[in-house]
Structure 1
Amino acid sequence: MESALDYHTARALLDWQIELGVTETISDAPINRYELEQKAPKPNAVETAAVPVIPKEVDPVVVAQQVAKAANSLSDLRDAMGHFDHCDLKRGARNLVFSDGQAGARVMIIGEAPGRDEDRQGKPFVGRAGQLLDRMLDAIDLNRESNVYITNVLPWRPPQNRDPLPIEISMMVPFLRRHVELAQPDVLILMGNISCQAVLAKRGITRLRGNWGDAWGIPALPMFHPAYLLRQPQMKRQAWADLLEIKARLGALA
């Protein structure tokens, strides 16, 4: 009877076979390789998993139009905007800046976008520009406590107070339009270039200011933004003329 190989002899034989290029061994029974090729390989768990359905690209403007149209109250609209996840500005903002003042007031002011103070407090026009706006309104017997309603084109602050991108404006316009429809003001005041771009599809505030336009069936007057007046105080004379225009229009509509 042959004796079993000891460890060292078996290891030496194995190393010799590996050196010769052996990559696999055979079993006691022969294997028909042709039969193996004819059989379909057994799928693994990954292959048998359901193939995910890739959704078509979502148009945020269309989504905004549908969501805004479904809002039947200002409260509904605020909730809809809070759940709108297609605007990247939302991810970097502290608060949703929806509105301030009295809903249903005859005058509705549309600003551009929240700044640092507005982002912190969740209200539009609360910084230095807001303080100047309050003084301007007070000069023609208007104030946000009783007869003015205020909102912005964008409810979230752009990083570093940069200008909003065209796509950001476009996706928020349906919400803004619905906001105006629900608030039902007699006149709109459009503060700055971004507001004119969103509402009137026009830019060039120095040319537009002081000239009444129509915004969704409502008289709209473009004006310099209070932040611009803080940088260019010599333009306050034109702003005062615009305020008198608003006062006259309200008197004519009374």
Structure 2
Amino acid sequence: MEDRPLIGITTYLDTARWGVWEDRVALLPAVYPQLVQSAGGLAVMLPPDDPERAPAAAARLDGLLVAGGPDVSPALYGLPAHPRTAATAPERDRWESALIRAALAARLPLLGVCRGMQLLNAVCGGTLVQHLPDAVGHDGHCPSPGVFAHHPVRPVPGTALAQLLPEPELPVPTYHHQAVDRLGTGLRVSARAADGTVEALESEGPGFALGVQWHPERDHDLRVVRALVSAAARQDAPSPR
């Protein structure tokens, strides 16, 4: 039987309709588990739970993917809310913050996507630009509600991300109106957009901890998620005797 590393993916908690039903649900766009599966991992969903259970959850995983979603609450990084901030997922904020802390403490391979990258930065003591058009003067990172755009990003030479993505510039699917502002402790910028927006960050320490502002689940490029799964496979490998 093929032994695939177990990758936990965080979920939304929302109201949804299917068939004759309408109910509160833990949900996740199918492209997330499909991406992990295509990259060689076994995907499991991690709906919001008691944050005190995060270390136990992390201990059962080989890797963690913190998915995209609503704005991170600015209370997590000590700022008042911008009028355009829609921080509608307090359960996710608490649970995913605890999961990220547990993953970093255990050196569990970690990938944050969009909101997941922003939350990683906040957990490490950084802050966010709450409405990016105010800072860059355009809405190219999220031009239309519900529609993914594309723009180029530039990996920073010498970073782990640049080893994964050696092109000087590559187009990525994007949908975000917030971004990293002050960088969190122990993190470094590993990609930027042409306007200077931080598009990826990574841990300066040992292990695999990466955040990307774009949406690899909306692309055919598996390299970033394959790197997570490969790191998770090494995590799962038995220690040499």
Structure with more contact order per residue of length (Cα contacts < 8 Å, sep ≥ 6)? 2
TM-score by length of structure 2 reads 0.35
Which protein has the larger Cα radius of gyration, Structure 1 or Structure 2?
1
Identify the structure with the greater strand proportion. Answer: 2
TM-score by length of structure 1 reads 0.34
Identify the structure with the greater helix proportion. Answer: 1
